[in-house]
Structure 1
């Protein structure tokens, strides 16, 4: 019988539905590999951004100390662009207050994304933070498989070698039950499309062989038009937003598609958040014949569901993800001349659907074995820290 742990879980629960996939898949992994049952109290990380909660406060210290374990993540909380943070990251927890927290802290499967910039001041602050964490048994530091470990090594060389675990993102292990969807057309090939609406200037800079946002919109719309005609209007394009900003990008593409295709071959899924949003959105994924995914979890969850997927890469995090899983089933859609490559890849994926679904399954199986190894380390860490805490409480 698993031992129960009261866990304060700090993460995103009402943002990107991919975060909810991460949490659901991580719960599956815990049930598979840990000797402990996490009884979770959720704390939305945006409450810290909104200043409803403050990391550097006695209130937070007291809250953290009332639990058996604090878990932060998964999520992209080791990105180093954050201004006015004492750690250079979204986890703005000064050592003065961190030292007051007696409860063990699990930094779980975090992203370290350098795509939005890395000020030197934040490099220095994060080094101090990481030095403290990685030299104390009370903390378990882990990153996800999106190039985070390589990014840390790029900045700090081998300073944290063998001190930071790499745990596959929980989204690779999410699951859903199929719901009935008006968006799905039973007699057509359903092509689900996720296009990201944030950071357009980063994704489409318009320099050094990279196209502008406007060029992408026009060219991607042309790809859908041409393929629709080529397949005798038997393709059903379903645009699926993960965050509210994705709605605008979907609109811009649809607005550039000719009226016949737009009315006969295009649908848009609702913008939903939270666990119920996850269940709805990824049920759509599960019933689609092909996924064209731009966001991190659009790709990750397609592999979780063993689907036929092509990555639409315009951000380094996604190319890092595909490098990590050793797959070249993606197209860099911010490069000049991407359209012919994308059309060719779509044709191939539609004609060899079962083969690509089998490849996705093999990726998932490999990541499951990698997760098992890291979870054994996590289980041992929990045992060590909880035994110490129990001893201290008795004495």
Structure 2
């Protein structure tokens, strides 16, 4: 790997690493002060659990040769322990180690988003077990189907959504955001955990904005690192990410102003994340004007979804389904609508006279991702709830999980 490419990819890795404290602050600030540390623990523990599983068998399940040539899941023993990369001191081994590390972060941020569905209600030990099972049974298979390419010369078979359906998803709108948002909904929809006692109100909006800013900063590495080098594509997707995040704030604020008469700080932060989610699958497929449209569309639709969620009484406290689930769907649809032939991907959307053949391909990917994620997440959570129990007691929930499970408080005002 050329030194310039390696330098940029290592920088991208560092940027994505910052998304974990960013997400922890973003979600922690949106909760009541009695559960902020518990949410930080859930987000940061996601990185710990994922790192262990990815080294043992996760990389193999995602990037390994498909079992039976079906494109469903990779051979879980092919790269067990990543030992083959360590043994290969050449460029192939070095590149393999880097991509293993980079995609650990992709997997970990996905399950960290799912944590929002259990905010303030789930036993911490149960969360650790759930996250390991969810990664194994939900994320690893979907990531293989979306991210892994087929190499006909070597006989290497990749995922069916990527190679058979020919889904276009630049950096994980389906396997990461849509998957996480739908899974959070399954966990939070009062199906398993039920509604929280008394609900939650954001206790620290400056912390939310700081977290959103760090997430935005990390997103340049998330999308830019997916360009696989210090090249024109990396520059391009960093620009489209900036534009979509900015337009997402505007789209959310406009709808919020029309609906309520006010644009809020929390709404602007959520709109920025919605725009970034929307551009993730389409970052290389739209031109700069298209990136603005993606952001506006994503922010506006997510804001409208929050109104729908409230009317239905869905207890998705941190809005992961709206921002990541619906935002991911919007992003994939934007590939169909706004893709421009002069963008690096070379795809033409139907609004620019492109073939309608792309429509069914993206719709299949959306349907498979949402149905599989929701069904499997519910099955895992239901099973654990019937065996070890998921929800904390009413007393623990009243006191707050920071004290009940971690014997800590975020703010020690008594010693001022």
TM-score > 0.5 by shorter chain? no
Larger-Rg structure: 1
The structure richer in strand per residue is 1
The TM-score with structure 2 as length reference comes to 0.27
The TM-score with structure 1 as length reference comes to 0.28
Higher RCO (C-alpha 8 Å, min separation 6)? 2
